[in-house]
Amino acid sequence: MLIQRVIKTLYNFYKNLLDKDFKEIVDKGFNFLLLRVLGIIAGYIFTYIIAHEYGAEVNGLVSLSFTLLMCLSIFGRLGIDMNLIPFFSLEENSFDSGIFLKVLFKAIIFSSLISITLFGFKNLICVDLFGKPQLIPYIFWVCLTIPFWSVVLICAGFFRSIKKNNLFAFFNNPGRFLFSLVIFILLIYQSNDSLNAIRAHFFGVLFLAVYSFYLVMREFENIRFKTNSNSWIFIKDAIPMMFSGAIIVFLGWSDTLVLGIYASDETIGVYNVALKIAMITSFSLQAINSILAPKIATYYKLNEKNKFENLIRFSTKLNFIITTVIVIVILIFHRFILGTFGDAFVSGSLVLIILCIGQVVNSFSGSVGIILQMTGYQKKYQNIVFIALIINLVLNFLLTPVYGALGAAISTVISIAFWNLAGAFYLKKKLKIKSYFSFH
């Protein structure tokens, strides 16, 4: 019976590919996936060089630095990157360069203030919180990077809104590590300074910010600063998306932060590698969501219910099938994959297995975050992920001091599974939207 259901599901899935929207998701999603894989390869090479040139300890410090960057830059961009999607997906807003420039300028100012604040509290964070005075030199480069990374992601959000998925995919991930990797290699040849990695990352992001802004400006026929839209109202609408995004980022990085308090730099380095490998399983969801967001936002506003629901159903099946296959491959070869980074990293085997199983649960739930945010329920989504964050922090502070990296992995999986399953339940119960996977 189960085999028959699987065959029937695959057959229906094949028939669905004949639909124009489904084809676009597959085609553009595949392109996104290729670029994401390119980015992860560059990121792994970046991590590999750090691990082999400077060891797991420096890798741990760089991981902590990236954690601070990702957590703080989400506030710096004020949710603008997400709110651009429903705004520019409407044709009448497509030439409004004024609103883009105004909200971008506000994001640069705000993210710069965050950087200044972080630098002012660097001793409190590095010495008193983490007990790692060796982290202080890295903080300087994190502070310089935050405003430019905010610019990159806002520009990436604009390309996503106008359905230029390849540019969105490039600026969202691979560009950052591709440019950083080239600069990193050049710096290593000049000196063997352990700060080379974080310096290279800054210069890579700086170049990416300038390049992405240049390409955005080329999209507008007439560049003007005046706009009929209120930039403050735009930001007000974006704030719930910012908080949801911030909570999700903290969910993704809180394990590393708590490990930074209780564990050694080497343990953090091993955990970070296991986490990066596990994140490969989320590539399909990211690829699908990259094109799904503007489409469901458009269909929802046009009240085209059938197209809206069919799109969600198809994307969930596609993501679940791909994720399951990737997880199986990783579980079979997990020791070999970890071993490529060095013998010390094989100790992260159980952590990697737990994180991969968690990703299967997430893929089962579907694109709950995108659906809620693109249909005007961003505040409800914010509440769900906030509860998940509380669960994550409580479990992390209970389990990590006792079980180390294993405790951090369990805490992360439980909290993110709650967020996805609760979102899927809300969509089904309250909005009658079925986002989760089924054979029917």
Q: What tokens appear for 122 in the block?
A: 């660097």
DSSP 242-296: HHHHHHHHHHHHHHHHHHHHHS-HHHHHHHHHHHHHHGGGGHHHHHHHHHHHHHH
The conformation of residue 263, written as its DSSP 8-state character, comes to: S
Distant-in-sequence, close-in-space partners of 39: CB < 8 Å, separation ≥ 6: 173, 174, 175, 176, 177, 178
For residue 434, is it within any domain?
no
Give CA–CA dist 314/298, Å, rounded: 17
Q: What Cα–Cα distance (Å) separates residue 293 from each residue in 102, 161, 353, 375?
A: 24, 8, 30, 10
More confident: 343 or 400 = 400
pLDDT at 19: 55
For residue 438, is it within any domain?
no
For residue 435, is it within any domain?
no
Residue 42 has pLDDT above 70, yes or no: yes
pLDDT at 46: 75
Contact 366, 309 (CB under 8 A): no
The conformation of residue 132, written as its DSSP 8-state character, comes to: -
For residue 352, is it within any domain?
yes
Q: What does the pLDDT look like over 341-361, one tens digit per residue? A: 777 778 778 888 888 888 888
Give CA–CA dist 169/178, Å, rounded: 13
Domain that holds residue 420: 2-429
A 10 A CB-CB count for 3 gives: 7
Q: What does the pLDDT look like over 47-67, one tens digit per residue? A: 777 777 676 677 777 777 877
Surface-to-core class of residue 347, CB atoms within 10 Å of its CB (0-12 exposed, 13-18 middle, 19+ buried): middle
For residue 208, is it within any domain?
yes
Distant-in-sequence, close-in-space partners of 203: CB < 8 Å, separation ≥ 6: 179, 180, 183
- In this structure, of 70-84, 146-160, 220-234, the range with the lowest mean pLDDT score is 220-234
Residue 73 has pLDDT above 70, yes or no: yes
Whole-structure pTM over 0.75, yes or no? no
In the chain, the percentage of residues whose pLDDT exceeds 90 is: 0
Contact 64, 134 (CB under 8 A): no
For residue 437, is it within any domain?
no
pLDDT at 36: 67
Structural domains in the chain (count): 1
Contact 334, 352 (CB under 8 A): yes
Give CA–CA dist 90/230, Å, rounded: 16
For residue 439, is it within any domain?
no
Q: What tokens appear for 200 in the block?
A: 């290279």
Give CA–CA dist 255/401, Å, rounded: 11
Q: Nearest-CA neighbor of 385 among 276, 242, 274? A: 242
Q: How confident is the model at residue 14 (pLDDT cuts 50, 70, 90)?
A: very low
pLDDT at 63: 74
